[in-house]
Amino acid sequence: MEDLVIAAAQFENRSGDKKYNLSVIDKLSHIAVEKGAQVVLFHEQSVTGYTFLKDLNRDELFNLAENIPEGVSTKTLMEISRKNQIAIIAGVLERENDKIYKAMVCVEGDKLVAKFRKLHPFINPAISPGNEYVVFDLHGWKCSILICYDNNVIENVRAVTLLGARVLFAPHVSMLTPSPMPGRGFVDPELWKNRHHDPVPLRQEFDGPKGRQWLMRWLPARAFDNGIYIAFSNAIGMDGDQLKNGIGMVLDPYGEIIAETKSFEDEVAVGICTEDKLTLSGGYRYRNARRPELYKDILSQPNKSIVKPVWMN
């Protein structure tokens, strides 16, 4: 396989302002191409914004949602992809018949390469869960998508790896929210407003246990244990009434960070995926050492899925 060059983005979206959000996706896609990327990943619900969805009723959500690929947003993403000559993975609120889904689409030129529906949505009870994995080909690489909470359920990442994915795109709107884990919590939006005059307190919050430190507890493990590349994208700035700390990141199959955004601005980080690391990684050896006859019945035991986070109680 030829190398795959991935850009992972962070940007501050505007709630419900599709035109503006798509304009930023266009701008960052162009920057990604200038940096040599072949595909650019944007965060969960990057076209609409995310957190404000919790306050919408079902009719408002349905009116905001669009069919895929016929909807204006997917068509616009295709236009941006064609103009900039780069594959784009971005978040679209989808409607199909009477259902609403949180979807990510991968488009390249006029082609819908893939669509994935979030398996564990919780932001609004009117949003239905997806019920299938997706694995697709991108420039000769087998890829998959899992959205935010989906990645915290380790079986999902193992499943798409066993289905053949060697690159996992992991779009999020995450971090800086309360949880039972000590040190977690919201961050004062005033720090964001004052970021240019006094950046240190904000950077400490962004990189501390509420933000990046929490991410580093588990994200590298997903890449290392499975022997895969992971591209991570998260919103930065105000998303609805919550402050988010960004981070566009690419990790290799060793669990090492090979690219990461570092500013408070709309930005992309670009990492190169090489084939050799896939088989040199520990995850490759561990995956091939599995003995599924020992635990297939254990792993398939029924479970009552409890997804709603503490901050939504």
For 157-193, how does the pLDDT look when each residue is reduced to its tens digit (9 = 90+)? Answer: 999 999 999 999 999 999 999 999 999 999 999 999 9
Query: Concatenated DSSP letters for 67-133?
Result: -TTTSHHHHHHHHHHHHHT-EEEEEEEEEETTEEEEEEEEEETTEEEEEEE-SS--S-TTSPPP---
DSSP state of 21: H
Supply the pLDDT for residue 308.
82
Alpha helices by DSSP H, 172-256:
189-193, 199-207, 212-226
Distance, in Å, from the CA atom of 117 to the CA atom of 147, rounded to the nearest integer, reads 8
- Tens of pLDDT, residue by residue over 21-73, are 999 999 999 999 999 999 999 999 999 999 999 999 999 999 999 999 999 99
Are 245 and 205 within 8 A, CB to CB? Answer: yes
The helix or strand, by DSSP H or E, that contains position 208, with its residue range, turns out to be none
Supply the pLDDT for residue 173.
98
pTM across the whole model: 0.97
Distance, in Å, from the CA atom of 102 to the CA atom of 12, rounded to the nearest integer, reads 19
The helix or strand, by DSSP H or E, that contains position 170, with its residue range, turns out to be strand 167-172
Look at residue 311 and tell me whether its pLDDT is greater than 90: no
What is the three-class DSSP state of 212? helix
Domains for the chain: give ranges and CATH numbers.
Answer: 4-312 (3.60.110.10)
Distance, in Å, from the CA atom of 193 to the CA atom of 211, rounded to the nearest integer, reads 18
| Token output for 4 | 């795959």
Are 206 and 212 within 8 A, CB to CB? Answer: yes
Query: Concatenated DSSP letters for 250-301?
Result: EE-TTS-EEEE--SSSSEEEEEEE-THHHHHSHHHHHHHT--HHHHHHHHTS
Percent helix, strand and coil across the chain, each to the nearest 5: 35, 25, 40
Supply the pLDDT for residue 50.
98
